[in-house]
Structures are given as structure tokens and as C-alpha cells.
Structure 1
């Protein structure tokens, strides 16, 4: 696994290797770091990659690691979607 990938364990205990698409800090909802990721080889009904996001909660004493915490507020989801859509729009223009 390279440094731009993470393994997500779903509620059934299945592991999914995911590409990290974007990480960014935001102080809008507290001092948090967000990660947007896409499970490798998983696509929606239109053949588009599936994207998901979470909050990175750093492990104390481990600068490189942490655990993922679900985003539970609708306002946080909207902020993450706005940042992600802006990035995708900018990449589409290049």
C-alpha cells in the first residue's frame, strides 16, 4: 500500500483499499482535518468512482496516523462537498 492509500473497514468487517483523493484542514467546525477517498475498483451505476469522506482524528504521538471518524453534521458534509467539487472543477479545467 502506498502513502496515498488507506484501508477502510466497513460495518461488516470487510476491508476496502482506497485511494486518498484529498485531505484538507478546516477550522470552520473546529480544528479538524478531512479526508476524501475512493474505494479502488468500486463504481456507481453510471461507472463513476464512489467517493466518501471522514474526519481524521490524529493518534496522540503518531504524526502520520490516526483514525477516521464519520462526518455526522449536514453542514460539515456540505462544506466537504463544496471543497471537493471546487477541486474537481479546477482539475477539469486543466
Structure 2
């Protein structure tokens, strides 16, 4: 009985993947899944790690990173490039921790 309750609660609180649409340099839209968001007080920016949605296992997909601006509801509103080598080092350190 307890196991059933725990499994039911886990199912209820399991989040749907957050999806974003990314437009590449050729103007082609790609649906991507957000795998992690985080902020940096040092840079005063928010960052997102994401992968293209495909049939491949997530471990086999390329991981992309960008800084982002959030909307009023906290959603990812606009992606921006990561501008400095220091920011890239910070983002890579977070990725390595994950």
C-alpha cells in the first residue's frame, strides 16, 4: 500500500520536459529539450543547457548552451550567445558537475 502511494505521488510530481524551439543559422527551427537551467551572480545572467529532441538516447545527443532572458512567468523567452571565455568556463564547470 505504501509503495503504491509513493509511486502515485512520484507520477504526479514528475515534470514534463520543458521544450524550446531554437532557430539555427540557416533559419531552420529545431525543437529542443531543456536539461538544466542555472544562474550566475558573478555574470548576472541565466544559462540553459539543452539537447535536440530526437529518438537517440539523451546520452548520445550533443549538449548546447546559451544564456537566456526569462519571461514574466519564468519561462525561457529568448536565447542569447555566451559572450566570454570566462562564461564558457563557468558553464562547462556546471556541465561537468552534472
Give the aligned partner of residue 50 of structure 1. Answer: 62
Instruction: Please say which structure displays the higher CA radius of gyration.
Output: 2
Provide the alpha-carbon RMSD of the alignment: 2.1
Which of the two has greater helix per residue?
Answer: 2
Q: Which whole-Å CA distance do the structure 1 matches of 2:69 and 2:19 have between them? A: 17
Normalised by the length of structure 2, the TM-score is 0.71
Normalised by the length of structure 1, the TM-score is 0.74
Give the aligned partner of residue 19 of structure 2. Answer: 5
Which runs of no fewer than 5 residues in structure 2 stay unpaired? 1-15
How many residues are treated as equivalent by the alignment?
80
Which runs of no fewer than 5 residues in structure 1 stay unpaired? 88-94
